[in-house]
Amino acid sequence: MELQGEFPRALANCSALIGLDLSNNNNLYGHIPSDISTILQFVTSLDLSFNNFNGSIPEDLSNCTYLNTLNLANNKFSGQIPLQLGSLYRIKKFSVANNFLTGRIPNMSNATSESYKNNSGLCGVPLPHCRAKLKILEDDHFITGFVVGMISSGISVTVS
């Protein structure tokens, strides 16, 4: 439809709207409103794929409790997927593929690895497990300094 601009907040006036497909509009951009559940109160299907939406996926999407389908694939979303989306127990189809997302994924019973593809920073079932990382041990400068400090301490104790 060649729509352009930011997410149309005027959709809040469509109080009986249950399905919204804004896919394949390369000129739609910006953030999904943080109060999306008040704009789309009864939405069962939301497809915002193949656009230029960016920023984080709003936690408020988890309040769209009637959602059966949520497609946010092929945008420029970044950050973590809100774990609260795992509470959307009606979801049958879910995709955030081809974005810039990172972190642990929510527990979505119908999501497959395809739902998350091309987001190299994601982890958790059905993707590879998340590894707990101890940040201080990953820092090469800290380790080098620690080793040098220990050796120096050992030498000074020996010399004394």
Residues 46-102 pLDDT 10s? 999 999 999 999 999 999 999 999 999 999 999 999 999 999 999 999 999 999 999
Six token digits for residue 91: 């979801």
* pLDDT at 36 exceeding the cut of 70: yes
pLDDT at 145: 52
- What's domain 4-128's architecture? Alpha-Beta Horseshoe (3.80)
Global pTM reads: 0.79
What are the structural domain ranges in the chain? 4-128, 130-160
pLDDT for res 157: 47
3-state secondary structure the chain: CCCEECCCHHHHHCCCCCEEECCCCCEEEECCCCCHHHHCCCCCEEECCCCEEEECCCHHHHHCCCCCEEECCCCEEEECCCHHHHHCCCCCEEECCCCEEEEECCCCCCCCHHHHCCCCEEECCCCCCCCCCCHHHHCHHHHHHHHHHHHHHHHHHHHC
Query: What's the pLDDT score for residue 151?
Result: 56
Task: Work out the percent of the chain whose per-residue pLDDT is above 70.
Answer: 81
Kindly indicate the confidence band of residue 138, based on its pLDDT and cuts at 50, 70 and 90: very low
